[in-house]
Amino acid sequence: MQENNSFLSILPLGGLGEIGLNAQLWTTPKALIMVDCGMMFPEEEHLGIDVIIPTFEHILANQDRFAGLILTHGHEDHIGAIPYLISKIKTSIYGSKYTLGLVEAKLSERNLLSRARLIPISEKTKLSIGDIKFRFFPMTHSIIGCYALAAETPVGKVLHTGDFKIDKGTEDTVLAPIREFAGDEGIQLLLSDSTNIEAEGHSSSEEDISKPLQDLFETTKGRIIVTLFSSHVERIQKILDFAEIYGRTVVVCGRSLHNNIQISSQLGYLTLPSKIIMDPNEIPNLPDEELVILATGSQGETFSALSRMIMGSHRQFAIHKGDTVIMSSRFIPGNLRAITRLIDELYKRGASVFHGGSHKIHVSGHGYKEELRAMLLAAKPKYFMPIHGEYRHLCMHAELGKECGVHPNNTIVIENGTPLILYQDGFELGEKVNVEPVLVDGKGVGDIGPIVLKERKILGEEGVVIINIVLNSHTWDIIGGPYIITRGFVFEQSYRNMLNDSKNIVYEELDELEKYDRELFKDKLRSGYRRFFKAILQRDPIIIPILNFV
């Protein structure tokens, strides 16, 4: 399509068709750059998995050309996978002062800080990497230190919004740099946050929740327990300020809150009240009406501070009648069941619960439809690719792009693994590549795949049957067993006769064995037992034959 060699390839490693896992690889003739390096929390089908991260194989295959990682902001779905990347490759990381503070804490915790060069950026920064020149435009979001990336590339101007919203009254301030960057000719390619495209109108601002929160502090007589995202510094500051106004001592419970409050205060983004206790072990004996507990657990996490308070396993606190629990955060869709269970348990213990679904104590950090429209009109893009959203969000945002003047043929909805290759006079989609995300289970990174998850699902739903046999190593005569052990399959005492009958399968398969081959015999036992249990019980457990030869 293009006579010279100018191009920009954008390969989404995550974040398209899903909420989370945001990561892109930008490639030009002279640069290979990663934009964001996020993680995603597992869903119900990811049994036992701790987190999900992008694949780094495309970076590792080209590490001699890899020029660094640029971060839009410090949320986990944009920075959470950085330690896994840095464990494999040394590189430079660019981000706001606050974002890099969070990254530094992550890397220090894993003794990886020496492998990364942390380079702060601001709205005054002009950064050149290879043949791309970056500028950074401050954006409003639910965390401080957010930037849109304005890039001058070999094929024209590209704007990556990052996550953003536009509070009412700030439109001109937020959009002025973007209009200036676009100029009369507009931006060649816009990549824009799609999260709240389904929400009509304009989002509320952070100031809109100040009065409802203050009213709760003014009227509540017992303890106030607040759970929220630990990275929402502005919201945390409100809670600390109201606690000081109403004479309450703040106790911080939860590692992520403790770390983020320390980082934010050290960097000058958070002003701590005179009465704050960072270590719950040091709390004096105070009456309930003088306490505010800031706790982790806004998403119903099993081992969070709030969950442990509910279940009575927290060393300092337990939920009791008269408590007021304020859940000032968004409910992430994959966590809804866990959150509703947590709320039910709070009510069972006599607490009053206030959350964003019932009271105005949370506002979204992502712009609604009219804010997304304002971004499109300011950027005037020739090409538009929606990012950061489930697939329907991307499609709906593309339709909005057409309403805002983008030619229908120039709206680009793609999935993870499909490279967008932009030229000066057009674009094309490259051949889809494998960007299957990596599952992290404990210290195992990438050693769990679909087969293991399927086995875990079967174990959870059908159970396991172990057939233990002792055989003569020369004649293959059975000299011990068969011993049948089940777990999660049937109550053995009730099904003892059936399990004893199943031992005949061992003798039958052994008699029909054409040659003495361990693996062949195991395969036949697995097949025979599966047929037997399917016919008798309509169940399909995992069958594990164990052969011992003496």
Domain containing residue 303: CATH number: 3.40.50.10710
- The answer to whether 197 and 396 are in contact (CB under 8 A) is yes
Residue 248 lies in a domain: yes
Tokens 């104590």 -> residue: 361
- Those residues whose C-beta lies under 8 Å from the C-beta of residue 184, and which sit 6 or more positions away, are none
Here the CATH number for the domain that contains residue 520 is 3.10.20.580
The last residue of one of the domains, among 355, 384, 408, is: 355
Residues 502 and 540 occupy one common structural domain: yes
| Closest residue by Cα to residue 185 from 380, 8, 374, 7 | 380
Residues 515 and 534 occupy one common structural domain: yes
Residues 275 and 346 occupy one common structural domain: yes
Residue 454 lies in a domain: no
**Is 401 in a helix, a strand, or coil?**
helix
366 is catalytic: yes
Residues 67 and 124 occupy one common structural domain: yes
- The answer to whether 453 and 52 are in contact (CB under 8 A) is no
Residues 210 and 186 occupy one common structural domain: no
Residues 414 and 513 occupy one common structural domain: no
Catalytic residue among 366, 388, 393, 397: 366
pLDDT given at position 1: 44
The DSSP annotation for 262-311 comes to HHHHHTTS-PPPSSEES-GGG-----GGGEEEEES-TT--TTSHHHHHHH
Residues 244 and 350 occupy one common structural domain: yes
Cα 387 to Cα 62, 108, 436, 507, distances in angstroms: 25, 31, 18, 60
Here the CATH number for the domain that contains residue 395 is 3.60.15.10
Neighbours of 496 (CB within 10 A): 12
Residue 516 lies in a domain: yes
Alpha-carbon distance of 271 to 480, in angstroms, equals: 72
Output the six-digit token pair for 537.
């019980």
Residue 180 lies in a domain: yes
Residue 38 lies in a domain: yes
523 is catalytic: no
Residues 29 and 177 occupy one common structural domain: yes
Mean pLDDT for each consecutive 10-residue tract of the chain (550 residues)?
A: 75 94 96 95 61 91 94 96 95 97 94 97 95 96 96 96 94 94 94 96 91 94 94 94 95 92 93 89 86 91 89 90 92 78 93 83 93 97 96 97 97 96 94 88 60 65 86 88 85 81 88 85 91 87 89
Catalytic residue among 36, 193, 323, 441: 193
- Those residues whose C-beta lies under 8 Å from the C-beta of residue 485, and which sit 6 or more positions away, are 465, 466, 468
Number of domains in the chain: 3
Alpha-carbon distance of 277 to 261, in angstroms, equals: 11
Residue 296 lies in a domain: yes
In this structure, the chain runs to a length of 550
Q: For residue 28, which amino acid is it?
A: T
* Count of alpha carbons within 13 angstroms of residue 429, beta-carbon side: 15
* Count of alpha carbons within 13 angstroms of residue 178, beta-carbon side: 30
pLDDT given at position 169: 87
**Is 10 in a helix, a strand, or coil?**
strand
Residues 96 and 117 occupy one common structural domain: yes
The last residue of one of the domains, among 445, 471, 488, is: 445
Domain interval for residue 475: 462-549
Residue 66 lies in a domain: yes
The last residue of one of the domains, among 337, 355, 373, is: 355
- Those residues whose C-beta lies under 8 Å from the C-beta of residue 278, and which sit 6 or more positions away, are 252, 258, 261, 262
Residues 29 and 138 occupy one common structural domain: yes
Q: Which residues pair with 192 in a beta bridge?
A: 386
pLDDT given at position 462: 76
- Packing angle between helix 255-266 and helix 233-245, nearest 10 degrees? 90
Residue 374 lies in a domain: yes
Alpha-carbon distance of 500 to 353, in angstroms, equals: 54
Residues 72 and 177 occupy one common structural domain: yes
Neighbours of 77 (CB within 10 A): 23
Residues 214 and 194 occupy one common structural domain: no
Alpha-carbon distance of 130 to 255, in angstroms, equals: 39
Output the six-digit token pair for 191.
């990549």
